[in-house]
Amino acid sequence: MNRLPVAIAQLNFTVGDVDANVDKMLAAAGRARSELGCRAVIFPELSITGYPPEDLLFRKDFLDRADAALARLTDATTDISVIVGHPHRAHGHLYNAASVISEGRVTARYLKRELPNFGVFDEKRYFSPGDQPCVFQIDGINMGLTICEDVWHAQPVADCAAAGADLILNLNASPYDLHKAREREEQVVSQRAKASALPIVYINLVGGQDELVFDGGSFACSAAGEVIYREAFFEETLSRLDIASQGIEPVNKSVALLAREESVYRALCIGVRDYVQKNGFQGTVLGLSGGIDSALTLAVAADALGKNNVHAVLMPSRYTREMSIQDAMAEVEALGVAHEVIPIEPLVESYRRQLEPIFQGLPQDTTEENLQSRIRGNLLMAISNKTGKLVLATGNKSEMAVGYATLYGDMAGGFAVIKDVFKTLVYELAVYRNTNGEVIPERVITRPPSAELAPDQEDTDSLPPYGVLDPILEAFIEHDCAAEEIIAKGFDPQVVENVIRMVVRNEYKRRQAPPGVRITRRAFGRDRRYPITSGFS
């Protein structure tokens, strides 16, 4: 019986850094051969360029560099077969390709057939589709080659089976969302394996790239549709599978799917870590209010980057409650991060005096509240300019949706950690984090949330309770439900109409918000692209 030991290289690549990406591949290929005893190593989709390379793919010099990197990988891997994703130019077209390299030459090449063009994907902007299956052989094992979206469609897998494949390899750069890991396995790959009566090995990218997070979780599925092996999530791994004509035999112990809160928390951590480190920032700085949002952001940052790379700034005003300062201090002490206290009341008074001639005779309103927030944003950006630390914005998805945030104030920053996390989930994540050691005081989780920009202010002065608000927002934003459909679910018609009105009229704010980690299927930015100016009601 033929047996082929292969290495699954679930690695973290950087978009555009093709030389470093190939260096990482060569190191993994060497380990796969010498330490794991493998005859082949498999890398994810477009791993030479990183994913998604976006409009870099329009640059000839970038594609030339990718070609040179592929040639270097080909020349340097003569003692192990390599299956690698990369862009490929041919006959005036650009393809999302995967090549098989053996004994210093390309022995097979597959061109991705199904190009996703929805949500965060716009591959038809760059690539032409292939139209042929690819089945290649190593050590007597016939392997069908597919790329990511191909396995979500029946024909590419069926064509590989008809061409004589013993199993299917599927190279992926599949972004994380709350439901993706289970959906990949149970609703897609398992069904495709059973339909074709072929095992499928699913190799996924890991790491953060701007808003996107790739969660890894590579796995092997038997011909009966059973997941028989799964790699770790949110970690780089290099592991061995033994492939025979009769099926797949895992060598290492399989891991379990993650619970919802753990998967989201780890996605936030890897998203922050890679954004900061891949962009060369000298750590992070954030405003710490004593509220739940900044507390969770602080915990994520400290867990992602280490306490020495996080700087918290407390900026109390006359409306800041004493318990907020106490809770914020408890958070910095629990996490061991550096902190400063900068009272903003003198600055607020200075602004008021300068604006008094213009504001004379006009009643106080949210303008005075927003002054406080903008002063805080100004201070944080000054610290960032001076120290090279990235400002982390702390607003959540519920606030971003309805505009309950100050443009150039608490929206100021370079990266918004929880911008795709609804407020109700913020609380769940805080409880989850405390199961690994309490760093967020219980009072922060249980007391009513407040912006503390006016006397005795609470969020419910301006918004419905989050337990009501978030389901309405989810229905409208993530499922495109009309007002009538949401009302039919049992929500108050006036509340629904007010919420929708707030979402629509605050699109201009969201266009100016920093990027942040995507965890849902309809994040603001790449997923949801609504016009600012629109007559549709």
Confidence of residue 529 (pLDDT cuts 50, 70, 90): confident
- The angle subtended at Cα 213 by Cα 240 and Cα 134, nearest 5°, is 50
CATH class of 262-463+506-511: alpha beta
| Residues 40/83, Cβ–Cβ less than 8 Å | yes
- At residue 431, what are phi and psi to the nearest 5 degrees? -65, -45
Domain boundaries 3-258, corresponding CATH code: 3.60.110.10
Euclidean distance between CA atoms 63 and 93, whole angstroms:
12
Res 164 pLDDT > 60: yes
Q: For the chain, what is the mean pLDDT?
A: 93
- At residue 203, what are phi and psi to the nearest 5 degrees? -110, 120
Sheet holding 93-102, edge to edge: 105-111, 93-102, 81-90, 40-42, 3-10, 237-244, 247-250
Q: What integer pLDDT is reported at residue 266 of this predicted model?
A: 98
Across residues 169-186, what is the average pLDDT? 94
Q: Which residue has the tokens 């505009």?
A: 403
Exposed e or buried b per residue across 432-441, where buried means at least 16 C-beta atoms within 10 angstroms of its C-beta: bbbeeeebbb
Domain positions in the chain: 3-258, 262-463+506-511
Euclidean distance between CA atoms 374 and 383, whole angstroms:
14
Confidence of residue 458 (pLDDT cuts 50, 70, 90): confident
Euclidean distance between CA atoms 48 and 205, whole angstroms:
12
Which residues are known to be catalytic? Answer: 45, 112, 148
| pLDDT tens string 265-323 | 999 999 999 999 999 998 999 999 999 999 999 999 999 999 999 999 999 999 889 99
User: Considering Cα of 45, then 48, then 52, then 56, what sign does the dihedral take?
Assistant: negative
Q: What integer pLDDT is reported at residue 452 of this predicted model?
A: 65
Confidence of residue 537 (pLDDT cuts 50, 70, 90): confident
Q: Which residue has the tokens 């407040």?
A: 450
Res 3 pLDDT > 90: no
| pLDDT tens string 463-483 | 899 999 999 999 999 999 999
Q: What integer pLDDT is reported at residue 60 of this predicted model?
A: 96
Confidence of residue 249 (pLDDT cuts 50, 70, 90): confident
Res 52 pLDDT > 70: yes
Q: Which residue has the tokens 């260096």?
A: 23
DSSP 165-195: -SEEEEEE--B--TTHHHIIIIIIIHHHHHH
Euclidean distance between CA atoms 297 and 179, whole angstroms:
22
Cα–Cα nearest to 315, from 307, 324, 303: 324
Tell me, yes or no, if the two domains 3-258 and 262-463+506-511 fold the same way: no
| Residues 199/189, Cβ–Cβ less than 8 Å | no
| pLDDT tens string 368-419 | 889 999 999 999 999 999 999 999 999 999 999 999 999 999 999 999 999 9
Res 1 pLDDT > 60: no
